[in-house]
Amino acid sequence: MRAFLTGLLMIAAAGASGAVLFSAFIVDQTHKALLLQFGEPVKVITEPGLYWRKPFVQTVEQFDNRILDLETDEQEVIASDQKRLVVDAFARYRIFDPLQFYQAFRTEAGARPRLTAIVDSTIRSVLGRAPFIDVIRNRREELMKQTIALVNNEMRNFGVEIVDVRIRRADLPEANSQAIYRRMRTEREREAAELRAQGSEQSQRIKSTADKDVTVLLANATRESEQIRGDGDEERNRIYAEAFSQDKDFFAFYRSMQAYEEALKGTHTRIVLSPSSEFFRYFNAPSGDQPAKPSPSAAATPPAR
């Protein structure tokens, strides 16, 4: 009997432990919870801690309280100036009301497709009202703020708040990109050819100026050198004239010595002249006097016997 009672107590203790185990649940500080009874919400739990529920009657759904990522699909957008863009964007959202979120989507996995569709359509609508240059550069931040405001306006009854929407990449379609690349390349080649032509023209102008300056400098230098040479020749002739007027015989001797020096330069100098030539006057007589020629009458007189 005692053993039977001990067994009953152990069964009761195990049942109590199981009931406590199934009744207690913990809400982490990164989550919010929704207590359901037969599938109907009965309590929203926003504070972390240990909570209790009725076993087999009540269930708990927990939702992440942190900022969550939402990846959108890459889509083609036509700007207001009819230019096409391929836009790749992403969003960040937060669940602020678990009850509304549960009633709208049930689970986070069920919420993502609908949230993505809303964000995509809003991005397409906002960017479609803006010109191409505003999307690419001028007003992207402002356009993203407009997108966030419109998306939150649509999601205000879903218990979801869109924290941020950003464009990761906004490019032209591949065909347009290739066409624009070819046009840019053509323009750059035209600019390069124009710059090369301008450089060639400037080079020719510089060369022409340099050639003209060289010609002028050479002409001036030649003129100055000829003038200096003429002045030197004039001074030399003056000195020669003064020397000649002072001693004509010495001057004639000096000039002859200079002529001999210039004529007899080198090791194979050959001169074919008559011995009685004027050139050898100082070889024939130290004074430079030419020997007297015999008169015709003396030449005709026969020698004495």
Locate the domains of the chain by residue range. Answer: 17-64, 68-177
Q: What is the CA radius of gyration of the chain?
A: 60
Paired residues of 64 in beta bridges: 31
Predicted local confidence at residue 225, as pLDDT: 92
pLDDT in tens, the chain (305 residues): 666 566 666 666 555 555 556 788 899 989 999 999 988 888 899 899 988 888 888 889 999 989 999 988 888 888 888 888 889 999 999 999 999 999 999 888 889 999 999 999 999 999 988 988 888 888 889 999 999 999 999 888 899 999 999 988 888 777 666 666 778 888 898 899 999 999 999 999 999 999 999 999 999 999 999 999 998 988 888 887 777 777 777 777 777 777 777 776 766 667 676 666 666 666 666 555 555 455 444 444 444 43
Predicted local confidence at residue 241, as pLDDT: 79
Predicted local confidence at residue 151, as pLDDT: 93
Q: Which CATH superfamily is domain 68-177 in?
A: Band 7 domain (3.30.479.30)
Q: Tally Cβ neighbours within 10 Å of residue 218.
A: 10
Q: How many angstroms separate the Cα of 15 from the Cα of each of 25, 26, 125?
A: 17, 21, 59
Predicted local confidence at residue 117, as pLDDT: 92
* 122 vs 234: CA distance, rounded Å: 103
Which residue in this structure is represented by tokens 């909570």? 51
Q: Record the pTM.
A: 0.53
